[in-house]
Amino acid sequence: MILTDEEQAIFDGEKGAGAQKAMELVVALGKIYGADSLVDITSAHLSGASYKTIGEGGLKYLSDMVAGGAKVSVPSTLNPVGMDRERWKEMHIGPEFAEKQLQIIELYGKMGIRKTCSCTPYIGDNVPGFGDHVAWAESSALSVVNSYFGARTNREGGPGALAAAILGKTANYGLHLTENRRPTVVVDVEDMGGSVFDYSVLGQAVGMAIGKGIPYFRGLKDISIEDAKTLSAAMAAAGSVALWHAEGCTPEAGDFDVSGLEHISIGDAERKAAYDKLNTVEDVQLIALGCPHLTPKEMHDIAALLKGKKKKNKDVEVWFCTSESVRSQCQDDVRIMEEFGPVLADTCMVVAPIEGTFQRTATNSAKAGNYLPTLCSQKVKFADISDLLKVIE
C-alpha cells in the first residue's frame, strides 16, 4: 500500500497512540483485501455500542483509544445501545449493566462521536450523498446507504469503522471501486405485495437463495425508505448482502449491463419457505417492533392502527424501538403507542439483554427473526404488524 507522507507520519506514531492504532488497523485491512491506497471518507457509522455485545473487552479497547487521545475527524454516529438511557428499568435491566452501558456511551462521546444511537442514522443527521465514500458498520444501514443513496462503503466491523472515523480515511478496496459494484444475479420478483412485511419476507428469501453477492431486482416499484431498510436488513441477516440494485428505482441500477447474468425467481414457494424458516412459535411474551428503528411514517402508521383501542392481553409486553430524535418528533404518536408499551429510544430487542426475561418474542423483521434465536436465545413469531398487534387488542 502506498501511504502519503502525512499517513506515514500517523502510522509512525507522530499524531498519538490512538491515531497510530487506527492507522495500523486500516492498513492491515487494506493489505488483506488488496487496497493500493487510502480514500477520504465523509462520514462513519459505528457498531459495537451495546455492553451486551462488546463486554469488558470492548470497554477496555474503547478506554485505551480514549487514553491514546483518539478523536474522530468526520461526522460519526453510533448504533443502538443495550438500553434506553432513561427507561432501562422498564426493560428489566439491572443497575450493573446500566452503569457499564453509560460508560461505553461516555467513552464514544469523548472521541467526538454523536451520542444518538440508531441503526437508521440516514433518516437523522448522518445522510451520505451519492458517490460519497464512507465507512459504515451496521449491516442494514450500510446496505441502505450503498444501495438506496449510492454512497460507497464496505461491510465494516465496529473497530474498522472507528479507525476510519478517527483517520477520516479508509482502505480503497471492495465496494469503494466501481467495478466491484456490478450486479451478480438478477432477481425476478413475482406478485410483490406492498407492505413492509412483504419486503422483510422478500429479503429473507433472497438472502437464503444467494447468500452473498449483489442482487439486481426486477419487479419492484416505488421503493420507500421503509421498504429499503427492511429489505437491506433482511438480506444482510439471511445472507451477507451489502449492496443491491432495483431496476428503475436505485441510483446505480442503470449503470450496468445485466445480460448474461444468472436469474433467480422469488414467488410464493420461496416466500413460504422464508416465512417458515423464521416463524417457530405462536404464543409469545414480547412483541418487539422497530428493527431497523421505526421511521416517523412507521410511527404514524402504528399509532393509526392502535388509536381508540385498549390493550387487553396484559401478559404480553410490547416494545416499540426507534431513535431519540424520531421519538421526540412524534409525540402525538408516542402518546397513543404508550398505552400498549414503551416507545424505547436508541436501543433494540437484539442488542438489549432480553434473554434474562423473555424466551418467546414476536417481530415483523426478518433481521430480528434471524438474530433473536442466535443472540438472544428466543423462539420467534414472525408476522405483519397488524397481525401481531391483534394478540394484545
- x-or-dash string of contact with ligand F3S, 54-93, rule CB under 6 A: -------------------------xx-------------
Is the CB of 171 or the CB of 368 nearer to ligand F3S? 368
Which of 322, 371, 361 shows the shortest CA–CA distance to 342? Answer: 322
As measured in angstroms, the least distance from the Cβ of 326 to ligand F3S is: 13
Rounded to the nearest 10 degrees, how much is the dihedral formed by the CA atoms of 79, 150, 37, 66?
Answer: -20
From the list 14-22, 146-154, 277-285, 367-375, the region that binds ligand F3S by CB under 6 A is: 367-375
Residues making up the chain, counted from first to last: 393
Question: Which of 174, 292, 353, 369 is close enough to bind ligand F3S by CB under 6 A?
Answer: 292
- x-or-dash string of contact with ligand F3S, 316-355, rule CB under 6 A: -----x--------------------------x-xx----
Is the CB of 20 or the CB of 347 nearer to ligand F3S? 347
Q: Are strands 185-189 and 169-171 parallel, antiparallel or unpaired?
A: unpaired
Which of 170, 166, 208 shows the shortest CA–CA distance to 187? Answer: 208
Question: Which of 91, 165, 206, 291 is close enough to bind ligand F3S by CB under 6 A?
Answer: 291
Is the CB of 154 or the CB of 230 nearer to ligand F3S? 230
Full DSSP string of 156-179: --HHHHHHHHHHTEEE--GGGSGG
Listed in order, strand segments (DSSP E) in the chain are 38-40, 44-46, 76-78, 135-136, 169-171, 185-189, 215-218, 245-246, 262-266, 286-294, 317-322, 343-345, 360-363, 379-382
Question: Which of 176, 367, 379, 381 is close enough to bind ligand F3S by CB under 6 A?
Answer: 367
Q: Rule CB under 6 A: is residue 199 a binding residue for ligand F3S?
A: no
SS3 label, residue 154: coil
Residues in the site for ligand F3S, rule: CB under 6 A? 79-80, 119, 140, 233, 291-293, 321, 348, 350-351, 367-368, 371
